[in-house]
């Protein structure tokens, strides 16, 4: 007897059983036993003459360029768990004559090529969106909107296309020293209970939001050091810690999945990471954390106690790869892919699964000013 699943049932099962993509978010799954290789790769270029999404066939011997899809300022890419759809955030401030950013939905063909499904405008005044992530059940896309300081939720149809905005949460700024600062949401992740955990670089805070039937509501806020300008977060696979990339380094915050609350903070590093345009990546095992370093290379840490403490500092590695502005890890935890925006390079480093040490590998592709990437594993 055969069993037929709906797309949503399949997506939910895939979300708990395999790791389908790597980008600006960490996996919540353990390291695979077998060596995995990317099948296709998508590199976004938001500025310059090669603006658009570049598609590559990512074979074991190297990457082969398949196509470039022209679109407006793609700043963030997200693959669905079933590998059938790709979503691109357009960092624009107008669409069809209205002050709003947009998100695009693409179908991924069996050959890796993309087909545009639709482009949706965000809520009015939700301009220059920065990042988006797909909910664990595969039913919605949540967008962090820097311009206008808001979060938008869009439903995903059975065919992968995007519906109109179903949920809006408008943030307020803060006042410090007589000067006001607007809210500027930068990045979104999800905890193990499906809540949204986000970082706000304008208001210097962490947020936890609940999602219910396409609606988003504030649940918890944590004020960070004034002026720290956080830009990225990474969730530990066990769900007990959140890492924040900020001016001056990285901080680790204890997190209670059962309540969605923060409880304690530890400074992981100071004055080592590439600030402003830096990035982090969490190893799928939860044992190692990596962050791009100012001046070139990647700083690493071996983690312990469920990610709540540092067992060993791995130091600065692969400095010869230069300053990296986006990182992605393979699901088996054996390789790291980084984007060097200044040199226009997509590069790969090997990871020693036992020690977390990095070793420079090869140049995978060359593209002018790459800004983000998503890797599709078979």
Which region among 263-277, 288-302, 303-317 has the lowest average model confidence (pLDDT)?
A: 263-277
* Exposed/middle/buried for residue 295 (C-beta within 10 Å: 0-12, 13-18, 19+): exposed
pLDDT bucket at 59, cuts 50 / 70 / 90:
confident
**CATH code of the domain in which 276 resides:** 2.130.10.10
Domain presence at residue 2: no
CA distances from 131 to 8, 17, 77, 281 (A): 23, 25, 8, 16
pLDDT one-digit tens code per residue, 125-146: 999 999 999 999 999 999 999 9
Report the b/e string of 251-279 with b at 16+ CB within 10 A: bbbbbeeeebebeebeebbeebbbbeebb
Closest to 138 measured CA to CA, from 188, 180, 79, 93? 79
**Mean pLDDT of the region 19-47:** 59
Give the range of the structural domain holding residue 365, as residue numbers without chain letter: 7-377
- Count of the separate structural domains present in the chain: 1
Question: Residue 111 and residue 195: Cα distance in Å, rounded?
Answer: 34
Its sign, for the CA torsion 275, 303, 327, 100, is negative
pLDDT digits (tens, 9 = 90+) for 166-177: 999 999 888 776
Task: Tell me what the pLDDT averaged over the chain comes to.
Answer: 87
CA distance 67 to 87: 17
Encode burial over 57-96: b for 16+ CB neighbours within 10 A, e otherwise.
bbeeeebeebeebebbbbbbbbbbbbbbbbbbbbbbbebe
Instruction: Determine the Cα angle at 231 with ends 230 and 232, to 5°.
Output: 110
Place of tokens 């190692």: 288
Average pLDDT on 235-250 reads 90
Q: Would you call 13 exposed, middle or buried from its count of C-beta atoms within 10 A (0-12, 13-18, 19+)? A: middle
Helix (H, G, I), strand (E, B), or coil: what is residue 26?
coil
Whether the per-residue pLDDT at 17 is higher than 50: the answer is no
- Radius of gyration of the chain measured on its C-alpha atoms: 19
Q: Are 101 and 122 in contact (CB under 8 A)?
A: yes
Mean pLDDT, range 180-195, rounded to an integer? 94
What local confidence, expressed as pLDDT, does residue 179 receive?
76
Across the range 307-318, mean pLDDT stands at 86
* Predicted local distance difference test score (pLDDT) of residue 31: 36
300 pLDDT higher than 70: yes
SS (HEC) of 114-138? EEEEEEEECCCCCEEEEEEEECCCC
pLDDT digit string, tens, across residues 69-116: 999 999 999 999 999 999 999 999 999 999 999 999 999 999 999 999
pLDDT tens-digit series, residues 264-286: 787 766 656 666 668 999 999 99
Burial 142-158 (b: 16+ CB within 10 A, else e): bbbbbbbbbbbbbbbee
Residue 1 lies in a domain: no
pLDDT tens per residue, range 196-230: 999 999 999 999 999 999 999 999 999 998 988 99
Partners of residue 200 on adjacent β-strands: 185, 205
Residue with tokens 């997509």: 346
């Amino acid at each position: 007897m055969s069993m037929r699943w709906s797309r949503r049932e399949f997506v939910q099962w895939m979300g708990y059983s395999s790791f389908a993509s790597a980008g600006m978010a960490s996996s919540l799954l353990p390291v695979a036993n077998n060596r995995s290789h990317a099948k296709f790769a998508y590199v976004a270029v938001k500025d310059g003459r090669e603006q658009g999404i570049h598609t590559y066939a990512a074979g074991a011997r190297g990457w082969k360029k398949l196509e470039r899809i022209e679109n407006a300022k793609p700043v963030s890419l997200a693959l669905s768990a079933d590998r059938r759809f790709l979503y691109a955030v357009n960092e624009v401030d107008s669409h069809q004559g209205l002050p709003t950013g947009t998100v695009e939905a693409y179908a991924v063909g069996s050959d890796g090529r993309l087909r545009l499904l639709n482009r949706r405008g965000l809520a009015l005044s939700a301009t220059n969106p920065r990042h988006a992530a797909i909910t664990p059940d595969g039913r919605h896309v949540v967008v962090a909107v820097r311009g206008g300081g808001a979060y938008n939720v869009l439903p995903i149809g059975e065919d992968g296309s995007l519906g109109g905005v179903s949920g809006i949460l408008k943030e307020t700024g803060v006042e410090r020293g007589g000067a006001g600062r607007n809210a500027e949401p930068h990045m979104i992740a999800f905890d193990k209970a499906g809540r949204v955990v986000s970082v706000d670089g304008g208001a210097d805070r962490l947020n936890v939001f609940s999602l219910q039937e396409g609606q988003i509501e504030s649940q918890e806020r944590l004020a960070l050091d004034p002026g720290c300008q956080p830009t990225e977060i990474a969730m530990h696979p066990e769900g007990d810690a959140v890492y924040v990339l900020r001016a001056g380094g990285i901080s680790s915050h204890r997190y209670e999945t059962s309540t969605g609350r923060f409880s304690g903070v530890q400074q992981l590093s100071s004055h080592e990471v590439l600030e402003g345009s830096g990035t982090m990546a969490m190893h799928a095992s939860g044992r190692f954390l990596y962050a791009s370093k100012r001046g070139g290379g990647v700083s690493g840490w071996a983690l312990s106690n469920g990610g709540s403490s540092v067992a060993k500092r791995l130091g600065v590695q692969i400095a010869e790869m230069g300053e990296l502005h986006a990182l992605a890890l393979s699901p088996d935890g054996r390789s790291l892919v980084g984007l060097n925006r200044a040199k226009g390079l997509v590069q790969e480093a090997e990871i020693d699964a036992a020690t977390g040490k990095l070793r420079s590998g090869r140049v995978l592709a060359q593209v002018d000013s790459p800004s983000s990437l998503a890797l599709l594993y078979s």
